[in-house]
């Protein structure tokens, strides 16, 4: 079974700063996908960024980028030029389609607060 660990329950930074959220995972599989989801107070789950394990290049989406270290099983999210609207819970998620299991395995989340 896969596990996902987010070691930072809460983080707080000033607006316009850069912040990095950490995520580690454990798996014996080689081909899988990793995601970061954002959950604002509205509780809607919003996909922020995704990474395929077979790709060496780190994914980027505007101000959001990841640092994917496959050997270390690490998948951190960097938010540049943080904005007040980035305040939310952020969940790291693992996906492996194999053995009949297609669901996402989530970490416990990091509550990110952007201060004005």
Binding residues (CB under 8 A) for another protein: these are 33, 35, 37, 42-47, 50, 52, 91, 95, 97, 100-109
- CA-CA distances (angstroms) from residue 50 to 13, 63, 69, 87, 114? 24, 14, 14, 20, 23
Work out how close the CB of 41 gets to another protein at its nearest, in angstroms, rounded to a whole number. 12
CB nearer to another protein: give 19 or 92: 92
CB nearer to another protein: give 89 or 113: 89
Work out how close the CB of 14 gets to another protein at its nearest, in angstroms, rounded to a whole number. 28
CB nearer to another protein: give 11 or 104: 104
CB nearer to another protein: give 18 or 108: 108
Work out how close the CB of 116 gets to another protein at its nearest, in angstroms, rounded to a whole number. 27
């Amino acid at each position: 079974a896969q596990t996902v660990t987010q070691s930072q329950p809460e983080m707080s930074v000033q607006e316009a700063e850069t912040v990095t959220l950490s995520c580690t995972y454990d798996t014996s599989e080689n081909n899988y996908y990793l995601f970061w989801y954002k959950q604002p107070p509205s509780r809607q789950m919003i996909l922020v960024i995704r990474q395929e394990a077979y790709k060496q290049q780190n994914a980027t989406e505007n101000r959001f980028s990841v640092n994917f270290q496959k050997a270390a099983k690490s998948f951190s999210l960097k938010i540049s030029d943080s904005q007040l609207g980035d305040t939310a819970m952020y969940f790291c998620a693992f996906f492996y389609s194999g053995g009949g299991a297609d669901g996402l395995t989530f970490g416990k989340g990091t509550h990110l607060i952007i201060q004005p």
